[in-house]
Structure 1
Amino acid sequence: MFNKITNLYFSLFLTLMINVSYSQCDMPDNSLSLNGTDIWYNSTEIIGGFQFSVDGALPTGASGGDAAAAGFTVSTGGSTVLGFSFTGGTIPAGCGTLTSLSLDGNASGLSNIVMSDPSGNSLNFSYFDSSSGGDVVCEDENACNFGELGECTFSDYQSCDCDGNVYDGYCDCDGSILDECGDCGGNGADVMCDDGSMVCSESDCSSDSEEIESGCDLPENNLYLLNGDVLYNSSTNIGGFQFSLDGGSLNGAVGGDAAAAGFTVSTGGSTVLGFSFTGGTIPAGCGILTSLLFDGTASGLSSIVMSDPSGNSIDFDYYDGSTDPELGTATVQIIHNSASPTVDVYVDGGLAISGFEYRAATGLLELPTSFTVGIAPTGGEVIADFPFELVDGGSYVVVATGLLGDTTT
C-alpha cells in the first residue's frame, strides 16, 4: 500500500513539474500554446485580432483572458476561434493567457494561426508545443537561437557569428588577423632589404637612386641620368666624353659644365660626344655634365667612355642605384651571445631584427662594406653603435657579447 501511494505521489509530482516548468513568458517570441483549455501567448507586437483552429477537439465557447480584458469579442464556429474588437481595443505586447476555451474532446494543438496588429497587418506567429515541457527556450544571448525553441546552439566559428559575419579585429572565421602588410594571417614584414630593414616585399626596399639629387650624391667616377640631366662625379679632370642614351631618341645636348668649359657636345643616333677644340677641361668634381634633349623614355646610359686631358681613359660606370658601386657588399651573419637582455638590432639606423634572443643567429645577410650596427634593449633606445668597414665580397660573423650596463664587456 505504501509503495502504491509513493508511486502515485511521484507520478503527480512529475506531472506537476512538467506542467509548471515553464510559463507564458518562457515561450518563444510570437507563439501560441495550448495549455489544457487555456490559450497562452507571447508576442513582441500589439495584437489587434486573432484567428486559429483547434486540432482534435471542437471549441464550443471562449471566455476570459487578456482578450476579454481588452474588450475583444471571441466567437467559435466549427474548429475555428475568432477574436477582434468592435471598438478598436488591443492586447498589449507581452505574454499571458489570450483566452480560455470550452472544448468537446481532447485537443492536440492549434493550427491555421492568423494574428494581426491594430492596422490589420499580419504578424508572423507559430504554435509552441508545450507538451515537451522543460526549459526548451534558449535564453543565452550569445547563442545562435536566442529566444527560440530548442537547446542553445552556438557558432562553430572562432571569430564569426552564426551567419559567418567576421567579428571586428579579425579577417576570417579562423581567428586570423591582418598583419602589417595587409595579408590575412600573414607573417608580417619578412623580406630583408640590403640596408637590413624588414619590409613586406622587395619593391618596398628603398632604392639608393631615389636619394640621388645632384652629381655630388654619386660615388666617384659615375654618371647618372636624372630628368634629362647627366650627373657626374669625377676624381680626375675630364678632357672628353662619349656615351649612348638607352631607350630615348636624342634631339640634342645643351648646358652643364661641358658648355661652361667650352666643350662642343654633339648627338647622332643614340650617341653623345663631347670634347674641346681649344683644350678646355672639366675640373675634377661633381655636377651636371650636360642636359639631354630627347623623345621617349630613357632608361639610362651605356657605352661610357671618359678621358682625361691627355686622352687617357678614365674608368667610369653608370650608377643604376641597385647596389653601391663605391662600397661593394659583404656577407654578414650576426650572432647574439649575450645572456641579457633580448635586443633589437639596427643597421644604419633602420630596425633590422626585433626581439633578438640569446644564442640566436641571423641567416647570411648581404650588407654594404661600410655600415653601423646599433644595439638596443627590445623596445628601447639604441645604447651602443658599432661601425664596420669590410672588404668587398668578404664573409664575416658579427658576435654580440657582454652584459647591459657592464662597461668592461
Structure 2
Amino acid sequence: MKKILSLFFIVGLIFANGTLGFIDNEDGTYDVGFTSDTPIGGFQFSVEGELLDASGGLSADAGFLISTGSGMVLGFSLSGATIDQAEGLLIQVEGSGITELSGIVMSDAAGGQLDFSFDPDWGSSGNSDCTDDPTGELGSFGVACEQAIGFFGCTTSPWGDLVELCPLSCDNCPEDDGGDTEITDGCDLPLNNLFILSDGSVLYNTDTAIGGFQFTVEGATPSDASGGASGDAGFLMSAGSGMVLGFSLSGATFDGCGTMTVVVLDGEPSGLSGIVVSDASGGELSFSYYGEASDVLGCTDMLACNYDEEATQDDGGCEYAEENFDCDGNCTAEVDCAGECGGDAEDLGCGCGNAAPSIACEDTDGDGLGNPGTET
C-alpha cells in the first residue's frame, strides 16, 4: 500500500500540465504536437507566420470544433469530449513561414486553465523514425516522457528504463544514415525538389507539368541520360560538360513524382546545381535540390515598398510608391493651391489656376471694378 501511495505521490510531483510545439513538414503543413498530464478539453494558440487552415490530429478524432482566423487556432468540444493521450499530434496547421506558437491557452474538461508552454524543440530529431514512448507504455500510465525525465532523468523509473522508453528526449536515437537510405523515391521529396541517387537516378516531385529541364551534376561526370518519366514522355536528352539537358519537340510534359531520368556517371554524385525546370510553355518553375537551402522568393529591390530583406530571389512582384508619395500614401512634394500633391497650379491674383491680370482681373459682377477682392 505504501508503494502504491509513493508511486501516486511521485506521479503527482511529475505532472506539470504540458507543452506545445510543432514540426515543419516542408510541404506547407505543420504538425502541432503536445505533451500533457491532464486530459485536454479545449485549446487556443496564435501562429507567428501565415495561417491558412487547421484540421486533423487527435482534436479531430475527439470531435473538436476547429476554427481559424487572425492568426489564431481555436479548438473545443460541445459534447464535453477530451483528448486523453499524454502526448501526440494535436492538430495539423496549413500556412507558411511559421516560427512560433504564442498566446497558448489550454483547458481541461471543466474549462479550467492548464499550464502550458511553447517547446521550440518539440519533435526535433535527426531520425524521423525515432520517437518518444514508441510502445505507448508510458502513455498507458498517463505519463509523458518530458515529465518522467524531469523527475528521474534518463535513468530507470517505476515504468522502466527511460533511455529506452524515451530515446528522442534522452538523445538515444540511432544515427540517420541520410543519403540514399533517406530518400529512395521521388514521392518522398517535398514539392518542387530534385535529388540524385548514387546510381544516377534523378528523383523529382512537382506540382506543375514539366516541359523541360537542365542541371549540372556535382562530384561526377555525366555521359548520357535516358529513361524515367522524361523518357516515357519522349524527351530528347543529352549530357556533356557536366550538364544534363532534357526537352520535348512535340510539347510533351510529365508531372507527379518519381524518377525524372537516369544519368550515366563517372564518379559519385554529391548533388545537382544550376537547376532550371520549365513548364509546357517554357516558363521557369521554382525548383530546389533536396537538402539545400531553398531560395526565398520576394522583392529584392531596397527601393520598393514591399522589399523583403530575407528574399534571395526576386519574384517580380516589387511594388513602388506613386510619384510624389511615399509608401504610406503621404505626399512628399508641395501641395498646390488646388490641393494637388506635386501640382503646378498657382494663384497669380485672379484665383487658383487662372491667368495673371494684365491690368485688372475680369469683371464678373459688373461693377466695373474687376472681380471682388481683386480690383486694381
User: What is the TM-score with the length of structure 1 in the denominator?
Assistant: 0.29
Structure with the higher fraction of residues in strand conformation: 1
Larger radius of gyration: 1
